[in-house]
């Protein structure tokens, strides 16, 4: 990015111009050792003021860039976290198939908070399904007699 060449004057520039005017108003101030030192100090301060203006412009450009990156990051976070929320909605229930009739049975994860296995009843054929906390059905399933 290019630096802007014209930046509105600030108080530092005005103060330097005032001091320069005072030095030039004294006439032959550049001929004395003190005048040479003061003249050189004003030139150094002028260079510092110019560098300060460039840095101020660069800082402003970087702030705009960071704001743009921050907005992009916020958009990505919304996309990512929205996807995670959708994934979280699926968590909590497992689907297992009854080995007897192939009916899908939903298993709530909360059953396994207190035990590693749980007995479920198939809604279609009334077979007892012993499901472990990994969603696996043991083959010892029995048919409930009515």
Could you report the per-residue pLDDT of 120-135, keeping only the tens digit for each? 788 888 888 888 777 6
Distance separating alpha carbons of residues 121 and 126, to the nearest angstrom: 5
25-41 pLDDT, tens digit each: 887 667 888 888 888 99
38-59 pLDDT, tens digit each: 889 989 999 999 999 999 999 9
Question: What was the pLDDT predicted at 9?
Answer: 56
Distance separating alpha carbons of residues 146 and 129, to the nearest angstrom: 16
Percent of the chain residues past pLDDT 90, beyond the cut = 26
Distance separating alpha carbons of residues 1 and 63, to the nearest angstrom: 13
- Residues 6 or more apart from 96 whose CB is under 8 A from it? 104, 105, 107, 120, 129, 131, 135, 137
| The pLDDT of residue 79 is above 80 | yes
- Residues 6 or more apart from 48 whose CB is under 8 A from it? none
Higher-scoring residue by pLDDT: 112, 83: 112
Question: What was the pLDDT predicted at 139?
Answer: 54
């Amino acid at each position: 990015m290019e630096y802007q060449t014209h930046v509105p004057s600030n108080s530092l520039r005005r103060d330097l111009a005032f001091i320069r005017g005072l030095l030039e108003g004294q006439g032959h101030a550049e001929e004395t050792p003190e005048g040479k030192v003061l003249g050189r100090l004003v030139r150094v301060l002028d260079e510092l003021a110019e560098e300060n203006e460039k840095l101020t412009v660069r800082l402003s450009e970087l702030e705009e860039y960071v704001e743009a990156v921050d907005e992009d990051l916020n958009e990505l976070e919304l996309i990512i976290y929205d996807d995670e929320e959708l994934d979280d909605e699926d968590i909590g229930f497992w689907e297992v198939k009854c080995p007897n009739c192939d009916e899908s049975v939903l298993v709530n994860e909360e059953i396994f908070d207190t035990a590693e296995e749980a007995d479920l009843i198939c809604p279609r054929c009334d077979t007892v399904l012993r499901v472990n906390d990994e969603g696996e059905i043991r083959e010892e399933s029995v048919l409930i007699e009515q």
